[in-house]
Structure 1
Amino acid sequence: MGYAITADDDGVEAALRRIAREEADGALKQVRAEGDLGPRVHEMRKTVKKLRGLLRLVRPVFADAAAENAVLRDAGRGLSALRDAAVQLSTAERLSASLPDDRREALLAPFRAAATHHDARAEAEMLPPFADAMMSLLGRAERWRLRREDWRALEPGLAATWTGARRAMKHARRNTDPEALHEWRKRVKDHWYQARLLRPIWPEMMDPHIKAADQLGELLGQVNDLAVFRERLESAGLGHALLSEAQDLATVRHAELMAEIVPLGRRLLAGRAEALTDRWGMWWRLRRAD
C-alpha cells in the first residue's frame, strides 16, 4: 500500500508494522539485485531515512523507538562512505561545468578516484551488515506496540518534529555554519517523511505542502554537499590556482542556494505546532468519518 497511513490500515499500529515490513523488504531486494551499485545504495539509504521518519512520528508513544532508531542509524552509516563519494563527485561535476576542459578534468580526477575506490569494496564490506539489520528489523516489527492509537498516536510526534524544524531554522538563520544547516535539513526531512505518511488525510491539500518540504530539504542537502565538497578539496592535491577557483565556485553556489532556502523555509514553517496539528487532526477525523 506504499509509504502512507491509509484508511485500509487497521489502525496506526498496524500501519507502522506494515510500512516497516514493506520498506525493509524493498531494501533487501536492492541488496540482492544486480547491476550498478550506486543507485541501489541510494535506494537503501532512502529506506533507512523513511523508516527513521516513521519512527519519529510515533516516538512519543513507542517504547522501542530509540533502540530501533539506533539500529537504523548504524545501518545507514555503513553505507555512507559509498554514497558520500558519489555525492562529492556529482557536486564537483556540477560546479565545474563552466570550466575549460583541462581544468575541469584536473578538478574531477581525485573525486572520480575516490568514488571508484569505494565502489570496488562496497559490496563485500557494507552490504551484508545492512542486510542483517533489515532481516532482524523484519522479525522485531511484528511485535511493535504503541501506547496510543488513532490521532493521539500521531499528534505528539508530528508536533515535536515541526517544533524541532522551526527551532533548527531559527538557529541556522543566526548561525549559518554547516552543522546548523545540516541539523535544519535533518529536521525538514523528518517532517517531509511524516507529511508523506499522512498524505491520505487530504491529498489535494497535502501535496503542495509535501512538494515544498521536499524542495527545501533538497536545497539544504545541496548546501550540505557543498560543505563536504569543500572539506574534500583541502586534501584533493589540487594546485593553488585550481583550488582557489573551486572554492570560489562553491562560495557563489552557496549564496545562490541560501537566497532560495531562507524565504522558502520561512513560508513552509510559518506557525506553531498547535496550528498544524489542529488542522491536520481535523482532516484526519473528517477522513475517518467520511
Structure 2
Amino acid sequence: MLKSARKKEKNPEGRMPLVEHLRELRNRLAKAVVAILVFTVVAAFFYKDIVEFITNPVLTAVGCESSFTELAEREDGTCARIVLNGLITPFTLALKVSLMAGVVASSPVWLYQLWAFVAPGLHNSEKKYTLTFVAAGVPLFTGGGFFAYLTLPTMATVLLQFSPAGLDNQLPLDELLDQITRMVLVFGASFTLPLFLVMLNFTGMITGKRMLGWWRGMVLGISIFSAFVTPGVEPLSMLALAVPIWLLYFGATLISLLNDRRRAMIAAAGPADDEASELDLTPSDIGEAESVGAGPTVPPQSEAGRQQRINGYDDIT
C-alpha cells in the first residue's frame, strides 16, 4: 500500500524535490552496480575462455596455435607468445577481464537505469528522438567494435613483420588486452560520428547543406584519423576503416538534407488546423491621431478648456 501510494504521488511531469531526485539516483545506481557485480562474478568462471576468445585470432594470424604454454614457431621465426609478468599479475588481470566482461554484458541493465532516471524530465518528442538515437547508436558502436576485432589479426601480422628473424616475441597479456580494448573503443566511437551529426541536425544546430559543404575536409580528416589508428603501413588497412566511415558520413548528410526539406515543407504549409498562427508584433505607423469628442474642440488655453480638462482629463470622471 505504501509503495503504491508513493507511485501515485509522483508528478506526471517528472517534477520532484531535490531529495527525491537524489533518492531516485541512488536507487538507479544501486541496481546498475548490482547488475555489474552479478555479471562480473559469472564472467570470472569463464575468465580463461574470454581471454582466449580475445587473443587466439591474433596468435593464429602470426602462426601460434596456443595461447599460454606452447610455442609453435613459424618457419621465419615470427611467432608471438603471451606471457604474464609478476606474481599477482594473473589475479589482477582476472579481475580486470571479469569486470570488463561484466560491464559489457550488463550494459542493457545500466543503460535502462540511466534512461529511466532521465526520461521523466523529457517531453514526448524528446523521448522519441532519444530512443531512436540509442537504438541506432548501439548497433553502430557494436559494428565498429566488431570491425576492430576482425582487423586485429592483420594488425598483429603487420607489426610482427618488423621483428628480426630468429627472435622470439613475448606479448604481455595486460598490454595486449589494453591494446585490443583501445582499438574496439576507437573504432566503435568513430562509427557513431555520423549519428552525432544527424542528432545535431535534428536539433537545428547544423543544416544538411552545411554538412555537404564539409565533405572535402571530412574525407581528409577521416583519412588522416584512419591512418593513425590503423597500424598497417599499406593503404589497404587504412581504407578498410576510412571507407565505411565515409559512407556513414554521406548517409548522415543525405538524412539531414531530407530532414531540412521536410522542415521547409512544413513551414511553407503554415500552421495546422489545431495550431495557432504566429502573431506579427512588429510596430507600424498608424498616422496622426485625431481627437474624438462631442462638440467643437476647445483650446486648452481658454477658461472653458481649463474647466473641461481637470487633472489632465476631459471631464471630472
Q: Does 1 or 2 have the higher relative contact order (CA < 8 Å, sep 6+)?
A: 1
TM-score range, shorter chain: 0.3 to 0.5
Q: TM-score, normalised by structure 2?
A: 0.32
More helix by share: 1
Q: TM-score, normalised by structure 1?
A: 0.34
